[in-house]
Each structure stands twice: as C-alpha cells, then as structure tokens.
Amino acid sequence: MSLVVFPFKNEDPEILVGNVKTALSHPRVEEVLCVGASEDQCFAAVAEACPTLERQYGKPVKVIVQERIGALRPGKGDGMNTALKYFLEETSYERLHFYDADIVSFSQEWISKAEEGADQGFDVVRHYFPRASTDAMITWFVTRTGFALLWPKSSLPWIEQPLGGELLLTRPVVKRLLEEEKVRRQSDWGIDTLYTFTMVKHGFSLYETYIGVGKLHKLYGALTDLRTMLVECFAAIQSLRGEEIPSFGIHRVEYPGPVSQEVREKVGYNVEGSLPLLTEGWSREEESLLEVLPPDVRAGMQACRSFPRFGFMDEEAWYATYQALLDHFQFDNPHWQRLLFRLWLARTLNYTVNQALRGYGHALHYLHQMVGRYVRSALQG
C-alpha cells in the first residue's frame, strides 16, 4: 500500500482538497498526507475538511506543518523531507507518492501509472509530461546542462524532468535519501536536484512514465518570479561538483504521446516585458564580476547596461558561461545572484527568438539535441 503526499504553500484549498479526494479514491492508496509550509488559510481549510474526508473514504488524512530540517532557506526541501521522515517513522507502507498540490489535471491515472512502474520492479517512478517550448527554462539551461557538463557518462542528463515534483519512491529509496546529509540540508528549491542526483548516485532503477494530459497548474508571472528558484537550483548543482556517480544505471522512459495544441501554442513568459530586466539596476559590484566570463559574453553583457542584447548568448556561449559560473558563482553574494539571473535570461531570450519561434517540434528537438551536444563536448573536454 502507498502514502500520497501533497506539499503545499498558499494554494487554492478547493483544488488541493479535490486532489486529496482523487488520491483517497485510489485502491492502492492507504493514506494521504498534506505538508504545509505554514498554518495559512489553505492549511486551515484542509484541516477542517480532514474529518469529513476520513469518514467518507475510510482512510487517514493528515495535514501537518513542515519541520525545520535543513540549513538553507526554509522551503520546498523542508516540506518534502518532512514527508520522508513521516513515511519512515509513522508508517509501514512500501511506496511514497509526491504530487504538487496545484495540479488541476490530477487524476487516478497519475497514481496508477506510477504504481505500474513500481510493480515492474523499479525503485523510482517519475512522471513526465508535455511542456510548452518556452517552459522549463531552468530545467534545460541549468539542471540538464549542469548534469551534462559534470556527469556526462551517467543517466542524469537524459532524465526528462529532473526537477519534477511528481514521483513515486520505494521505501529503500526514502531511507537512503534521508540518510544523506546533503539531502537533509537542502531545504530550498534545490531539493529536486538533490533527490534526482542521490537516486542515480546510489544506483536506484528509474522509470519515467508519460502523462499525456500534462500538468495543468497555476503559472508563474514575470521571469523575476523564477529568480529564487534559478539561483537555488544552480547552487545545488554547484554544490555537487566533485561528487562521483556511476557511469551506468537502469533508466527507462515511456515513449511520449501526441502533444495538445494548447501546449504547442502556450507562451511561457512575456518576452517584451523581460527585455528591461537585462538593463535595469546594474551595480558596480555586478559589473566587476563580468571579468571572469568569456570575452564575447563579457562584451555582450557590458552592452546590456545601455540596451538589451542577447544575440551573443548562443549554445556555445552558454556552455562556456556555465563553466565559468561553476568556478566563480557565490551563492551568498546578491550581486552574483543578479548576474546569474541576467545571464540565464539572455540565454532564454536567445533560445526563444532563434529556436522556439520556429515551432514546437523544432524547439523540443533542438533542446534534446543540445543536451546531447553538451554531453559529447564534456566527454571530449
């Protein structure tokens, strides 16, 4: 039997309660746990609904506040690690499911497909789904790029959605994750990176199951909303430098299905509104950091101080920039954080104009091929 967990923060309680009902109605689910970042209005609404849900479905439903487990900014990592601890200490279930609380397309299919993967003997089952060509820009340009540069012989670069919050873990995986000091420490957005890395590092078998309906959820606003996530995800990759990882491992990916027109036509962010973010608010300290970047990138970013430019930040330039960032980026330096955001923004805009605007099929093919080219470059270099 399985435990389903919904970490949440300031979510729409109607959507979350609906997802809890869906999970409770699945025959493989024995209990549902909701882990809140704080006792906000959503927490109160879910807590109020719990007794009724327990009577209706005859299964336990709990809502708890996440513990302070990690050493970084209190966030998603503390919530997920609180769930791992609860699973090991308070239950005897063999499987733990995680799902984001705000998915409006959540159905029993998500749980069933994960259970089917585990029934085949896989230690970890991850969900992946179609995403807009301008969505997942942190996944492609930070996480998968970093995995390709640092561990090109492993399965890490080929995981479709390494930052996805929808996955099934078997009990041995949960135990191993919670034993890792780096995992417990990662209390912020970097937790997905640490989970994915640790699973592969310890040789757990991984199956990626495809959810064709996609993950319909609330969207981010301006790209500035992603800055904290961007910084914490990059810092997580950087913190793992020097770690050894197996050059092999069992990794299977279910073949994808057709992509809806809605996803194909979706625009992930406001391009025009993002351009000023390249030019506004430069400090002397931030300008001085440009010295460690490749010459062409340094010149391009210096020009951005007076007019937004991004044509220089092509695939090769980002590869060289990423290597420089791995060597020089300082997580606790706000000037470095702002510069990292601008560099990533320039890369995102370059890709959008030169690849995404050429059509969904071309863009997704390009991104997958890009990862492959990065892997080959890392192996040669």
Together in a domain, 244 and 334: no
Burial of 323 (0-12, 13-18, 19+ CB in 10 A): middle
**What's the confidence (pLDDT) of residue 248?**
79
Burial of 119 (0-12, 13-18, 19+ CB in 10 A): exposed
**What 8-state DSSP symbol labels residue 139?**
I
**What's the confidence (pLDDT) of residue 231?**
98
Cβ-count burial 249-277 (b if 16+ within 10 Å, e if not): bebeebeeeebeeebbebebbebeebbeb
Sign of the C-alpha dihedral, residues 79, 82, 84, 90? negative
Together in a domain, 119 and 227: yes
**Which residue range(s) make up the domain with 196?**
2-265
Together in a domain, 54 and 129: yes
**What's the confidence (pLDDT) of residue 221?**
55
**What's the confidence (pLDDT) of residue 269?**
79
**What's the confidence (pLDDT) of residue 216?**
58
**Last-in-domain residue among 243, 265, 287:** 265
Q: How far apart are CA 374 and CA 34, in angstroms?
A: 39
Strand order in the sheet with 95-98: 61-65, 29-36, 2-8, 95-98, 167-170, 124-128, 206-210, 251-253
**What's the confidence (pLDDT) of residue 266?**
76
**What 8-state DSSP symbol labels residue 356?**
G
CA distances from 374 to 149, 248, 368, 369 (A): 6, 18, 10, 9
**Last-in-domain residue among 231, 265, 299:** 265
Tell me how far the alpha carbon of residue 285 is from its chain's centroid.
30
Do 104 and 216 form a contact (C-beta atoms < 8 A)? yes
In the beta sheet, which residues pair with residue 35?
7, 64
Of 346, 282, 340, 342, which is closest to residue 310 (Cα–Cα)? 346
CA distances from 40 to 11, 12, 98, 350 (A): 9, 11, 21, 40
Together in a domain, 216 and 74: yes
Question: Could you write out the DSSP letters of every residue in 259-294?
Answer: --HHHHH---S-HHHHGGGGTTT--HHHHHHGGGS-
- At position 357, the amino acid (one-letter code) is L
Regions in the chain scoring below 70 on pLDDT:
216-222
Q: What angle do CA 240, 74, 86 make, to 5 degrees?
A: 90
Together in a domain, 132 and 174: yes
**What's the confidence (pLDDT) of residue 222?**
62
**What's the confidence (pLDDT) of residue 261?**
83
Q: Which tokens belong to 276?
A: 């000023």
Q: What is the pTM of this model?
A: 0.95
Q: How far apart are CA 73 and CA 70, in angstroms?
A: 8
* Counted domains in the chain: 2
**What's the confidence (pLDDT) of residue 220?**
54
CATH number (domain holding residue 57): 3.90.550.10
Together in a domain, 37 and 58: yes
Q: How far apart are the first and last CA of the chain?
A: 47
**Last-in-domain residue among 250, 265, 280:** 265
Percent of the chain with pLDDT over 70: 98
